[in-house]
Chains A and B, each alone.
Chain A
Amino acid sequence: MSTRVTVTFMTRYGVGFVVRFYVPASVVDPTDPAIINVVNAINAACASKGISIEISLAGSFVSTAGTGPTICEDKAVLVVPDDSGEVHIFKLPAPKLVGVGNIFEADGTTLNLADPNVSDLSASLASVGYGRSGDNLTPIRKGHRAGGKRLSY
């Protein structure tokens, strides 16, 4: 495997473009010397200069979808504020809707915050997640079902 690197170069015209290449999978930092060496070499030989670096680390798992009625077009909309009060919306695809693991209340629409799985997701988001501005996420405030075909459960 490898780590994909995307470097944005800018010209004096104010128009940028990206260069993609791969470095060994052991590289997990965008400022790793393996990346900076290449960018510096391009900078030295070209008129355009690198202004940003993005690396992509890919993981894969063996996983099988459940047989519940929902599909990815069905969403559970999660409203999650961060420490500074900014609200973030997460749309969870194919939420569990019936039987064991149903994450909604009896009305089939309102997210059941007391559900153990929802509580666990809420705690996980609050403990390791951050908002766009970098502030810590807080527990899920509320949620509801949206999108997809209305199912009669």
Chain B
Amino acid sequence: MAWVAGARRKSTYYFQDRVGRVATVDVWVGGGEDDPEGGSVSTLRAAFLACTDAAIKATQILAYAKQDTTPAYGTDAFDRPTDKLEVGAITAEGIPVTMKLPSLLAANYQADGVTPLTTGAAAALMTAILENCVSADGEPLTKIKRARRMIPSGLKSWTRKA
């Protein structure tokens, strides 16, 4: 299995007219376009602006990658899509960041079935989050403050699915 990046990227232009209404136009651009304020996006934005009375205050590039083969999905007590793990982290400034992830395997929880272990794959996941993720405004995450399994509604057991 390998991740394969898409050959093209989608650029989006957000038009805003004189009364505040917003509309978008999407154009696919080359796979190497990585500057939403330059390159082909800037070229197309300028060309659009010459033909419209609206302003273009924001642009966006969406880039995609997908697995080249279907992965082998696991079988576990907590493998349902509604089983989630909520991770709360903070930045150096104390800004809270919440992530909702798929639930860990049951073996990665403590006996209560909701608190992740501090060893093994659970700990590796927390480390990967701290080392690679940032807050929405770009501040590095400094600490995992809490992590707990979110119990899906309708379960008869807190630790195993009904």
Task: Enumerate chain A interface residues (CB-CB to B < 8 A).
Answer: 1-2, 4, 9-13, 15-17, 19-25, 28-31, 34-38, 40-73, 76, 90-97, 101, 103, 117-118, 120-121, 123-125, 127-132, 134
Whether B51 sits at the interface, judged by CB under 8 Å, is: yes
Q: Which of B28, B48, B101, B135 lies in contact with A121, CB distance below 8 A?
A: B48
Knowing A23-B132, A31-B5, A54-B64, say if A9 contacts B43 (CB, 8 Å): no
Mark contacts of B41-84 with chain A using CB atoms, 8 A cut-off: 1 yes-contact digit, 0 otherwise: 10111111111111111111111111100111111101111000
Shortest beta-carbon distance from A5 to chain B in Å: 9
Q: Which of A34, A47, A125, A130 lies in contact with B105, CB distance below 8 A?
A: A47
Knowing A36-B3, A52-B66, say if A47 contacts B78 (CB, 8 Å): yes
Shortest beta-carbon distance from A107 to chain B in Å: 18
Provide a sorted-by-A list of 7 A–B residue pairs whose CB atoms are within 8 angstroms. A41-B129, A43-B71, A44-B124, A53-B65, A57-B60, A121-B47, A132-B28
Task: Enumerate chain B interface residues (CB-CB to A < 8 A).
Answer: 3, 5-8, 15-19, 21-23, 25, 27-30, 34-37, 40-41, 43-67, 70-76, 78-81, 85, 99-105, 108, 121-122, 124-125, 127-129, 131-138
Q: Are A70 and B55 in contact (CB under 8 A)?
A: no
CB-defined contacts of A23 to chain B, threshold 8 Å: 132-134
Q: Are A47 and B102 in contact (CB under 8 A)?
A: yes
Q: How far does the alpha carbon of A9 sit from the alpha carbon of B102 in the complex, in Å?
A: 8
Knowing A12-B74, A71-B19, A101-B51, say if A56 contacts B25 (CB, 8 Å): no
* Residue among B62, B74, B122, B132 with max Cβ neighbours from chain A (10 Å): B132
CB-defined contacts of B105 to chain A, threshold 8 Å: 45-47
Knowing A47-B76, A59-B36, say if A30 contacts B63 (CB, 8 Å): yes
Shortest beta-carbon distance from B61 to chain A in Å: 4
Q: How far does the alpha carbon of A43 sit from the alpha carbon of B80 in the complex, in Å?
A: 14
Q: Are A48 and B81 in contact (CB under 8 A)?
A: yes
CB-defined contacts of A60 to chain B, threshold 8 Å: 37, 57-59
Knowing A1-B137, A61-B58, A128-B30, say if A30 contacts B65 (CB, 8 Å): yes
Q: Which of B17, B41, B100, B132 lies in contact with A34, CB distance below 8 A?
A: B132
CB-defined contacts of B50 to chain A, threshold 8 Å: 101, 117, 120-121
CB-defined contacts of B49 to chain A, threshold 8 Å: 63
CB-defined contacts of B19 to chain A, threshold 8 Å: 71
Knowing A29-B34, A121-B50, A129-B44, say if A46 contacts B74 (CB, 8 Å): yes
Nearest residue in B to A40 (C-beta to C-beta)? B128
* Residue among A9, A16, A21 with max Cβ neighbours from chain B (10 Å): A21
Nearest residue in B to A70 (C-beta to C-beta)? B53
Q: Which of B22, B65, B79, B99 lies in contact with A31, CB distance below 8 A?
A: B65
Q: Which of B54, B76, B128, B133 lies in contact with A94, CB distance below 8 A?
A: B54
